[in-house]
Structure 1
């Protein structure tokens, strides 16, 4: 059986779409499927050599970009028609684009976060948040039991530990370059550096400056780790972007202050912050001049909860109850059974 995944990654897009789709690819591969990513050629620097590339190279002006995008979507339609299953995880596909894709391939799984594109048809719809979709979705897969985590989050060691670190992880690319100002603000607030652990994505903005700052101030850091679970297990709290990492931190039970760096993270925070295992500060809807004020607010939230043992214990318990790490396997087995049915 052949599976195509349409997803892109870049500094602006982030790595979240690619990472969660890789979790699905791993699960489907374990079931014997042949899987391949289909990627816009403009973003091949963030892709794998084994990916299938579509569209043009142009990044010069808006007209050329639109032409390249349209060419890529048209090219993908013929590819989709030849597959057994297509997974679409892409905000650049409108409801009309998805409807057109569905005409070429009805075995379509759409990954969604915001539920803001209007009605569109799909065989399956996956959203790790509780959302209502129209009757045009044949099999909705909604809720945190379908959160797509990497294989390392399955069957985690439940042994007791006493985590001591404050983990700072702003996603694969840190699109707003928040790591360095957050570190500065923590030091100004006299937060002890021996408890800080920085995790940088392989393509994080200002990574060289962050690494230099960490070395000068004796702050632990790692970059581009394939398996982040050991660092998360050592975290008493975290400062994190609110993409897919939200579900990873919940799975391990790490109370977190989230920095919202993209609009598509709004609904996940709207659902999770009231559960009282995390807090959030928004950065994506403000001008850069205001950003430092928000950084200060975020650090104040961290310091407020760092020594609140009761809150952290309850927050950790709540977080772990939400996500079990089996979402990707659950989705793959559900869809695979559809194809296996007599």
Structure 2
């Protein structure tokens, strides 16, 4: 059985779409499927050699070329905000075995065999099998079988996503030091394509701050984290799975609904950066660091937050989705 995944990654788009689709591909591979990414060639710097590159100078060329590929596959996974409801409806005409990944539920009605959203959202009757809620969060395989042994985490993990699109890591580190937060407790995790990575690494070395870049398995660092400062993409569900109380920096509009659902559960807090001009971001950084310092010694909140977070995500979402979809193809 052949599965095609239409998703892109770049500094502007971020790495979240690709990371969660990689988790899904791993789960389908385990069931014997042949899987391949289909990527806009303009973003090939973030692709792998095994990916199928399509398109030319425009998104429309990509969409047209992908339609022909979709018809030749058994299943299509679409994780792409560039596709409107009309685009999805056209793709569905070419391939009815269509799984759409969604976050915002803001594109109107469209048809699909499966719809996956790790948030609680209502979709129209045009979706045959909705897969909604945090039990379907797509986490990497390392999150499926975590060591449950007790530990006493001490670190503040700072991770602003695969690309850190707003380059927030350095100003956050500066603000932490100005607030006299002890550097021995800070652990920085940079994505392989993070903005200003060289400057951040230099700052960490000068100030004796621990850092890692481009780790394939982030679970050891998350296990050591007493709290985290993080972007609010797919990492939100990873940190929830690990039970890490977090102050989220919202760096993209598509993170809005996720935070609207999770912040009221009282395992995390958030500060928004994507809708303010660059000159005003420093105020948000100071607000974020103030919140970290307020919560750092609040052990009761941390304990409750960790328990709530763990109850939301079990790490088996990708496996759960793949098995549900695969069972459809096994029906007589």
1:62 aligns with: none
1:216 aligns with 2:200: no
Equivalent runs, 1:111-260 vs 2, <5 Å: 111-260=101-250
Provide the rounded CA distance (Å) in 2 between the counterparts of 1:284 and 1:69: 24
Aligned residue for 2:51?
Answer: 51
- Shift in Å, 1:69: 1.0
The answer on 1:299 being equivalent to 2:289 is yes
User: Shift of the alpha carbon at 1:155?
Assistant: 1.4
User: Runs in 1 of length 4+ with deviation above 6 angstroms?
Assistant: none
Partners of 2:290 and 2:171 lie apart in 1 by: 14
The CA deviation at 1:117 is: 0.2
Distance 2:219 2:47 in 1: 23
The TM-score, its normalising length taken from structure 2, stands at 1.00
* Local SS of the residue matching 1:325: coil
Matched, 1:103 2:96: no
- Report how far residue 277 of structure 1 moved: 0.1
Shift of 1:74: 0.3
Q: Distance in 1 between matches of 2:294 and 2:239?
A: 19
Deviation at 1:276, TM superposition (A): 0.1
The 1-side partners of 2:230 and 2:279 are apart by 21
Unaligned runs of 5+ in 1: 59-67
* Equivalent position of 2:274 in the other structure: 284
Q: Kindly state the Cα deviation for residue 35 of structure 1 after the two structures are TM-superposed.
A: 0.1
Matches of 2:120 and 2:108, distance apart in 1: 16
TM-score by length of 1: 0.97
How many positions carry a matched residue from both structures?
A: 332
Whole-Å separation in 1 of the counterparts to 2:290 and 2:69: 50
Aligned equivalent of 1:9:
9
Q: Deviations over 1:77-119 (max 9, x none)?
A: 0000000000000000000000000000000000000000000
Q: Secondary structure at the match of 1:236?
A: strand
Within the candidate set 288, 307, 313, 2:303 is matched to 313
Residue aligning to 1:64:
none
The separation in 2 between residues aligned to 1:178 and 1:54, in whole angstroms, is: 33
Matches within 5 A, 1:327-338: 327-338=317-328
How far apart in 2 are the matches of 1:147 and 1:105?
A: 24
Match of 2:65 in 1: 75
Q: Could you say what secondary structure the match of 1:114 adopts?
A: coil
Alignment deviations for residues 275-319 of structure 1 (CA, whole Å, 9 cap, x no partner): 000000000000011000000000000000000000000000000
Distance 2:258 2:62 in 1: 30
CA distance in 2, matches of 1:215, 1:69: 42
| 1:28 Cα offset (Å) | 0.1
What is the rounded CA distance, in whole Å, between the counterparts of 1:70 and 1:15 in structure 2? 22
